[in-house]
Structure 1
Amino acid sequence: MLIRPNCYRPIIAALAAMLVGACASTTEETALSITPMPVPTDEDARVLLRQSRYTLVELRPDAGQQNLLRQIIDLRIPATHATTVGDSMRYVLRRSGYQLCEGDPVLATLWDLPLPAAHLRLGPLPLNQTLQLLAGDAWRLSIDERARQVCFITTQSNGEAQP
């Protein structure tokens, strides 16, 4: 049996017309349909914001906003501004929400140490790691969350904290 190419033209034209008609005939209801987001039932549920068709953004504070000591800092300490460890720590803490605890004569020895040149460029690191880096291994970071003060405790040679 011999198949003629001309006999398929009407079928192809009818299929093309149906496809074009199906694409062009969207109703106003389907064009403006909005998919409702599920309502969170408990306080720990994720709240999402649809930014575009395929992008959902979770609405929550980042780790640095929830725990201020985990905020990432990346800064260059001016050599003229900070010549001691205490000056550089004050510079690092200037917009962090924390302050150094002052007045302890033991801590005055840490604050008066000269700042190493390797510490003029810090980060990107979390704030707590940056402060520990500036203090060195002989000191352990101690935080008073209520007063938002940063203090340090001397450590013994075996790594235990000294009162």
Structure 2
Amino acid sequence: MRPSCQPFRIAGHSHLIRLPGLLLAAMASGCAMTNAVPPPPASEVTDIAPEAVTEFVPVTRYGRYTLVELAPTAAQHDLLLQVVEVEIPGTLGATVGDALRHLVLRSGYRLCDEQSADLLALPLPAAHYRLGPVLLRDALLTLAGPAWDLQVDDGERKVCFIPGRREASAPHEPKPPEINRSAESPPLIREVSP
């Protein structure tokens, strides 16, 4: 017997070998077809966004991988935006004036004493012996309290406090905490035996 010229032919089952090949070719050709969308004509193209303005920002190399912008920070422009963290020296007779003077010591500001003598003589609350990190403006307002308004003279770099406008109302009384009745435990019942 002579060997057959078709090495993959199995007697009576040649269609089983050709069928998967045809399916594979049909699937591959179906995936390769795409519908090309023609590009819009050049006359319809409009510039939606304006051209980006390239602004020169001066920088300097600081170390191997760091570039530092050569511009002052916001806290250097407005000194009240600097972040401070202070701990008032623990003396028994510390006043609000002592704390304010200690706070503005290295801030670039000085305290004006003539308008706020009443405030400066008040005793310092224990909660104010340590403040921060917080903005300088917020620290000054915290030490003064809500009854005083902050005035800043940037020309002379003075920080002043004036009494706030008080409405004719009753003195400030803290509100009692609201009680959640559903979270309370039921009242105790005493059992009386005869």
Normalising by structure 1, report the TM-score: 0.63
Equivalent in the alignment of 1:125: 134
Note if 1:108 corresponds to 2:124.
no
Matched AA of 1:115: L
Contact kept? 1:83, 1:114, Cα under 8 Å: yes
Please give the alpha-carbon distance, in whole angstroms, between the structure 2 residues aligned to 1:131 and 1:51: 35
Please give the alpha-carbon distance, in whole angstroms, between the structure 1 residues aligned to 2:90 and 2:60: 44
User: Highest CA radius of gyration, 1 or 2?
Assistant: 2
Structure 1 residue runs without a partner (length 5+): 1-43, 159-163
Contact kept? 1:81, 1:87, Cα under 8 Å: no
Equivalent in the alignment of 1:31: none
1:113–1:58 CA distance, 2 compared to 1 (3 A):
same
Q: Once the 2 structures are TM-superposed, how far is the Cα of residue 62 of structure 1 from its aligned partner?
A: 1.8
1:90–1:82 CA distance, 2 compared to 1 (3 A):
farther
Query: Of 131, 144, 148, which aligns to 1:135?
Result: 144
1:84–1:145 CA distance, 2 compared to 1 (3 A):
same
Contact kept? 2:93, 2:123, Cα under 8 Å: no
**Identity percentage of aligned residues:** 49
1:148–1:52 CA distance, 2 compared to 1 (3 A):
closer
After TM superposition, the runs of 4+ consecutive aligned structure 1 residues lying more than 3 A away are: 50-55
Please give the alpha-carbon distance, in whole angstroms, between the structure 2 residues aligned to 1:46 and 1:73: 29
Structure 2 residue runs without a partner (length 5+): 1-54, 168-194
Q: Once the 2 structures are TM-superposed, how far is the Cα of residue 76 of structure 1 from its aligned partner?
A: 0.8
Q: Once the 2 structures are TM-superposed, how far is the Cα of residue 145 of structure 1 from its aligned partner?
A: 1.0
Q: Once the 2 structures are TM-superposed, how far is the Cα of residue 110 of structure 1 from its aligned partner?
A: 0.4
More helix by percentage: 1
Please give the alpha-carbon distance, in whole angstroms, between the structure 2 residues aligned to 1:85 and 1:52: 44
Please give the alpha-carbon distance, in whole angstroms, between the structure 2 residues aligned to 1:144 and 1:81: 32
1:148–1:81 CA distance, 2 compared to 1 (3 A):
farther
Equivalent in the alignment of 1:4: none
Q: CA RMSD in A?
A: 2.0
Please give the alpha-carbon distance, in whole angstroms, between the structure 1 residues aligned to 2:65 and 2:98: 48
CA offsets, 1:5-50, max 9 Å, x none?
Answer: xxxxxxxxxxxxxxxxxxxxxxxxxxxxxxxxxxxxxxx8421223
Matched AA of 2:119: L
CA offsets, 1:72-118, max 9 Å, x none?
Answer: 111111112871001100000111111111223xx111001110010
Please give the alpha-carbon distance, in whole angstroms, between the structure 1 residues aligned to 2:89 and 2:62: 40
Note if 1:84 corresponds to 2:95.
yes
